[in-house]
Amino acid sequence: MDNLVKQIKVNAPATGLDSDSIRFVLHHQSSTTSCTKPNHSGHRVNTQMGTMFTLDGRHIESIGYSISVSNSRGTTLTIGNTCSYPDAMITNLPLEICLGTSLPLTGNPGDANIISSGFSVNGVPATIFNPPTTGNYTVVYTVNGGLPKAFGPTDPGCIQAVSLVVGVFPVPVITKQPRDIGLCIGASGSFSLTATVAAPSTLAYQWQQQINGTWVNIPGATSATLPIINVTAGDNNERYRCIVTALNANGFGCPIFSDVVILHVHETIPMVCMGNINFSLDANCEATNFVDIFLNGDIVSADFYEVIIKNGNVVINLADVKNYLGKLLTYQVRDICDNNSCWGTVRFEDKLPPVIDCGPVITIPCYQVAAFLAENINNVSFRPVYYDACGPITAVFTTEQSLAACEGGYIIRRWTVTDGSGNKAYCEQRFNISNRVTWLPPQPLVLLTCKDDISPEGSSLAGVEAAYPYFLKWFGTHSDQWRM
């Protein structure tokens, strides 16, 4: 065939076309006709490229067709087939899905008499849909029925590929979970959380209360904060949670659940303090979990209590207890709902060592070794990073040169840091020694002639010693290592 132009004539029963479409691949007369089933729109040829022609209309299952193509010489080629297509279908993927969802790829080939079938996601063969990021993914399900055979209801005919574009949308992240609260009878409070989501999705909230074991939406509770108003004894131990949903422009949502929180309503109970205790501060040199430390017995909610620390009659701000390390202080625990209280003594202690980091191995040039070994704690170079939240640190080091030779030698520095409570931390620094030094020209340049004395003894020549002090000092005695 040549000069395929002008027209394609389709001979088919009146019921053989409808508003869908079919693609026909034309072959030479000696070739086997094959067919596939693509998109649809009208009843005309809308594209042609090479020997690929698209006919608007659909070839109905089990109805034959023929195509005639004429060239400019008046030669007409007619081909035909009775092709029964597999009616393939992707069975388990929605059009929108939440990030983190993993689904097996399944489909119905439409006919049991097929050669093979398989899926691809964005062109990559796959058996599971597990997208790593948000965005649109094209899932293609291909059913291979082989070449057209004799017409029959179980003959799937040609290759059929169906596709589905799946939108993957973000899930919100709760950056601060709600916490349990304790309230006195008649008091008010709130549960709250903080969440984020990637734009352009937006956040929606719905608080729920557990009633008789079932989670029930609270009407109007659609913000990040849930007010709790005028509690009664009957509200004690009520359980709440929040559904945080990321909504896209179409209204599709990806939800997550917050932690379950409990509302504790005050009940009067006997208070017994622990008496004399030692309290170890945390890594930030702060006192936390006061009530759990000072009160004897199980604590329902720390919200019911106030802890007061005194040095004599002077109340100490809780943030300042690190300034009283080792000193005997008094404490009072007061029930803020019924004003009951108890007392005892406390000694705050720092039992955690400082933090120190000596860093990576460092290479120093050979000519710096002597000065390096002479350093002390006041002028030391390459000081490690050390820190202690409770206050000042003292640092000392020892230096050990392992080899006297330049190339291949190294120096070890061993550091010890001590905090105000006597806690110690240690680390080692290693310094490799090298004579491979990149020399930079002096500024301004020093001009020498072949008659100038460039030996170490003659290095007093104006500008030379200032420009190359270490070069003349170290390498001047090794004339085989440099040339003028």
The 3-class SS string of the chain reads CCCCCCCEEEECCHHHCCCCCEEEECCCCCCCCEEECCCCCCCCEEEEECCEEEECCCCCCCCCEEEEEECCCCCEEEEEECCCCCCCEECCCCCEEECCCCEECCEECCCCCCCEEEEEECCEEECEECCCCCEEEEEEEEEECCCCCCCCCCCCCCCEEEEEEEEEECCCEEEECCCCEEECCCCCEEEECEEECCCCCEEEEEEEEEECCEEEECCCCCCCEEEECCCCHHHCCEEEEEEEEEECCCCCEEEEECCCEEEEECCCCCCCECCEEEEECCCCCCCCCHHHHHECCCCCCHHHEEEEEEECCEEECHHHHHHHCCCEEEEEEEECCCCCEEEEEEEEECCCCCEEECCCCEEEEHHHHHHHHCCCCCCCCCCCEEECCCCCEEEEEEEEECCCCCCCCEEEEEEEEEECCCCEEEEEEEEEEECCCCCCCCCCCCCCCCCCCCCHHHCCCCCHHHHCHHHHHHHHHCHHHCCC
Q: Sorting pLDDT into bands at 50, 70 and 90, what band is 256?
A: very high
Reported pTM: 0.62
Mean pLDDT along residues 430-444: 71
Q: Which residues contact 299 (CB under 8 A, 6 or more apart)?
A: 291, 292, 305
Q: What percent of the chain is predicted at pLDDT more than 90?
A: 55
Mean pLDDT along residues 266-289: 90
Q: What is the pLDDT of residues 366-382, one digit of tens each?
A: 888 888 999 999 999 99
The label of the residue with tokens 């190359």 reads 468
pLDDT at 37 exceeding the cut of 50: no
Q: What percent of the chain is predicted at pLDDT more than 70?
A: 68
Q: Which architecture, in CATH terms, is 355-434?
A: Sandwich (2.60)
d(Cα 391, Cα 166) in Å, to the nearest integer?
A: 57
Residue 378 or residue 24, greater confidence: 378
Q: Sorting pLDDT into bands at 50, 70 and 90, what band is 2?
A: very low
Lowest mean pLDDT among 78-92, 159-173, 320-334: 78-92
Mean pLDDT along residues 251-280: 94
d(Cα 440, Cα 455) in Å, to the nearest integer?
A: 20
Q: Which fold has domain 89-169?
A: Immunoglobulin-like (2.60.40)
Q: Is 222 exposed, middle or buried (0-12, 13-18, 19+ CB in 10 A)?
A: middle
> And the tokens for 382?
């390459």
pLDDT at 35 exceeding the cut of 80: no
CA 423 to chain centre: 37
pLDDT attached to residue 403: 65
Q: Sorting pLDDT into bands at 50, 70 and 90, what band is 160?
A: confident
Q: What is the pLDDT of residues 286-314, one digit of tens each?
A: 987 678 889 998 888 999 999 999 999 99
Mean of the per-residue pLDDT values of the chain = 78
d(Cα 23, Cα 57) in Å, to the nearest integer?
A: 9
In 3D, which of 156, 158, 161 has the Cα closest to residue 32? 158
Q: What is the pLDDT of residues 199-235, one digit of tens each?
A: 999 999 999 999 999 999 999 999 999 999 999 999 9
CA 51 to chain centre: 49
CA 126 to chain centre: 24
Same fold, 89-169 and 355-434: yes
Mean pLDDT along residues 245-272: 94
Q: Sorting pLDDT into bands at 50, 70 and 90, what band is 147?
A: low
pLDDT attached to residue 402: 76
d(Cα 340, Cα 211) in Å, to the nearest integer?
A: 33
Mean pLDDT along residues 445-463: 58
pLDDT at 80 exceeding the cut of 90: no
Identity at 211, one-letter amino acid code: I
Cis peptide bond prior to 444, omega within 30° of 0: yes
pLDDT at 284 exceeding the cut of 50: yes
Half-sphere exposure of 147 (CA within 13 A, CB side): 3
Q: Domain residues of the chain, as ranges?
A: 8-81, 89-169, 173-265, 276-349, 355-434, 442-484
pLDDT attached to residue 7: 38
For 173-265, the fitting CATH number among 3.20.20.70, 3.30.450.40, 1.10.10.10, 2.60.40.10 is 2.60.40.10
pLDDT attached to residue 457: 53
